[in-house]
Amino acid sequence: MNTDQTTSPSPGQAGEPTRWWQDAVIYQIYPRSFADSNGDGVGDLPGITARLGHLAQLGVDAVWLSPFYPSPQADAGYDVANYRDVDPLFGRLEDADKLIAEARSLGLRVIVDLVPNHTSSAHRWFAEALADAPGGPARQRYVFRDGKGTDGDEPPNTWQSVFGGPAWTRVTEPDGRPGQWYLHLFDVEQPDLNWDNPQVREEFLDVLRFWLDRGVDGFRVDVAHGLVKQADLADWDYPQEMLGGDEIDKPRPPMWDQDGVHEIYRSWRRLLDGYSGDRILVAEAWVEPAERLARYVRPDEMHQAFNFEYLLASWTAPAQYAVVTRSLEAADAVGAPTTWVLSNHDVVRHASRLALPIGTPRPNGIGAADPQPDAALGLRRARAATLLMLSLPGSAYLYQGEELGLPEHTTLPDEARQDPTWERSGHRERGRDGCRVPVPWEADAPSYGFGPTDASWLPQPSIWAEYALDRQRGVPTSTYEMYRAALRMRREFGLGGGTLEWLPAPDDVLSFRNGPVGVLTNFGAEPAELPVGAQPLHTSGPLSDDNRVPTDVTVWYRA
């Protein structure tokens, strides 16, 4: 890409010390699918603790654990019944303490998930709300409203749930008559809390204290853009898209990104700042444009926000140039470091997503009857994308298994699916199970070493053996060794804390310098030239004999 010779900002302004999170690589653990210690087919905290050494060897700085709290698991734990304990499925509270201690001894920080937009319908508060009368104090912790129509039998407004179907469900009152409706932007079993209620605010400050006192380094805040709703709950007749992706022009939604959310995060920040150490808040906020998202990371609010615009960007040089530039500028405007992410537990893994024809709207899952992504092409692009991402200034998030080049499970039998999206969408959206399949550690062990038995809560595909960690460790061309070397060099050359300077390049090539390292990604059909005399340091795939960069390859070279 022929770009202006612009210089992009780096995290930490001149003279300020770099805080650990500003350039950290943070690895997401999805507890049910990482490592199973007791053979019941579901991963658990002791399983994670036993495998933390892998992450220290890989070279990440921190782990983020998706929810492990008591929960009926209607949404894989994002339906929390008790915020101060561990679900027996995953272990006990002592196991969380041991995990935090072991991580610390390995030099890894620990971030836990906080789910403040909704509780589980199995939470004590919701039982109290159902037992209370309309308008009663227990009801006021949630969003209850009378229905419309003569008998109140129509929902209070037209909002849709992110998982499909109406966002309201009618309750039966204690006297047995059909009664009020409650709001659930996600599953029926995930009632939205009422953040106008001071009791709700107090409760979450206390939950934060509970985990801070146990030594966690921070919180990933689920649906951070959803807590406050527009006061009039005005109708909104558009389908929900938690993850962006639809291109229709629509007014600002009354349930997302309301200005009132920011005061909540300011109060949380004050609390965290009162603790020793450098504890952080990370926003999961599907908010566009980047300037609007940047408001979540103003100096007195959160520390980081996931950069989903980056995750969604097309695999072309102009799209990647635009998203990197926009992201750096927007974060710099509020003095925050940028974050980068390519995969997580809600999206098709990038080793499969990037194989879809350029411009394909982001699919919500892939099924056996759908066109199947080309695994070799996907892996090639995924490796190039990862090497590009890890060379950018800021903090990067990895999702478990991507260091093995794991693809999406795209032929998962529909009867095995557990994501509520599948049922609630009337079997139109396959949902997120394909990226949540348990991780393969050993090619020749039961459940590929996920646990001591064959049990696996989602079936693992037969091709998992070739991706297993023990097949990749020590193999220089493996994806695992590519990640490990990249993380080592990223640290050695200070890339996370560096400064990006674009270099001129042909239209289908991205080229920049970050301190002593030059980076070039070739998106074009023809091989690309490296600058004269450039010495490659690391590549996502082999170069040609004359040192040119083939299609879909990223190179780091000594600049």
- Give me the residues that bind ligand NOJ (CB under 6 A), please: 75, 78, 115, 186, 222-223, 284, 345-346
Minimum Å gap between C-beta 343 and ligand NOJ is 12
Count the neighbouring beta carbons within 10 Å of the beta carbon of residue 302.
25
For ligand NOJ, the closer of residues 283 and 519 by Cβ is 283
For ligand NOJ, the closer of residues 115 and 406 by Cβ is 115
For ligand NOJ, the closer of residues 76 and 487 by Cβ is 76
For ligand NOJ, the closer of residues 189 and 552 by Cβ is 189
Minimum Å gap between C-beta 378 and ligand NOJ is 23
Minimum Å gap between C-beta 186 and ligand NOJ is 5
- Report which of 4, 1, 10, 5 is spatially closest to residue 331, judged by C-alpha positions: 10
In whole angstroms, what is the distance from residue 117 CA to residue 508 CA?
Answer: 42
The token duo for 558 is 């000594």
Contacts of 149 (CB under 8 A, 6+ apart): none
Peptide bond into 289 cis (omega under 30): yes
In whole angstroms, what is the distance from residue 269 CA to residue 266 CA?
Answer: 5
Minimum Å gap between C-beta 557 and ligand NOJ is 37
- Catalytic pick from 61, 75, 87, 284? 284
> The dihedral of CA 545, 546, 549, 550: what is its sign?
negative
For ligand NOJ, the closer of residues 143 and 553 by Cβ is 143
444 an active-site residue?
A: no
Is residue 458 within 8 A of residue 433, CB to CB? The reply is: yes
Minimum Å gap between C-beta 311 and ligand NOJ is 12
For ligand NOJ, the closer of residues 283 and 553 by Cβ is 283
| Per-residue buried b or exposed e for 434-467, using 16+ beta carbons within 10 Å of the residue's own CB | bbbbbbbbebebebbbbbeeebbbbbbbeebbeb
Contacts of 208 (CB under 8 A, 6+ apart): 114, 219, 268, 271, 272
Minimum Å gap between C-beta 77 and ligand NOJ is 9
Minimum Å gap between C-beta 346 and ligand NOJ is 5
Is residue 306 within 8 A of residue 283, CB to CB? The reply is: yes
> Exposed (0-12), middle (13-18) or buried (19+): which is 270, by Cβ within 10 Å?
exposed
For ligand NOJ, the closer of residues 402 and 552 by Cβ is 402
Is residue 224 within 8 A of residue 261, CB to CB? The reply is: yes
Can you list the alpha helix ranges (DSSP code H) found in 313-445?
A: 317-333, 350-353, 375-390, 420-424
Minimum Å gap between C-beta 407 and ligand NOJ is 20
**HEC-encoded secondary structure of 512-540:** EEECCEEEEEECCCCCECCCCCCEEEEEC
**Residue 427: helix, strand or coil by DSSP?**
coil
* Rg, C-alpha atoms of the chain: 23
For ligand NOJ, the closer of residues 78 and 480 by Cβ is 78
The token duo for 127 is 């039982």
Minimum Å gap between C-beta 420 and ligand NOJ is 8
In whole angstroms, what is the distance from residue 333 CA to residue 43 CA?
Answer: 41
> Exposed (0-12), middle (13-18) or buried (19+): which is 77, by Cβ within 10 Å?
buried
Minimum Å gap between C-beta 174 and ligand NOJ is 28
Is residue 254 within 8 A of residue 236, CB to CB? The reply is: yes
Minimum Å gap between C-beta 222 and ligand NOJ is 5
In whole angstroms, what is the distance from residue 536 CA to residue 558 CA?
Answer: 6
Q: Which residue is nearest to ligand NOJ (CB)?
A: 78
> Exposed (0-12), middle (13-18) or buried (19+): which is 13, by Cβ within 10 Å?
exposed
222 an active-site residue?
A: yes
* φ, ψ of residue 144 in degrees (nearest 5): -100, 140
In whole angstroms, what is the distance from residue 480 CA to residue 459 CA?
Answer: 23
For ligand NOJ, the closer of residues 23 and 75 by Cβ is 75
Is residue 398 within 8 A of residue 59, CB to CB? The reply is: no
- Catalytic pick from 222, 301, 419, 433? 222
> The dihedral of CA 299, 301, 303, 306: what is its sign?
negative
In whole angstroms, what is the distance from residue 41 CA to residue 36 CA?
Answer: 6
For ligand NOJ, the closer of residues 217 and 346 by Cβ is 346
Q: Which amino acids are annotated catalytic?
A: 222, 284
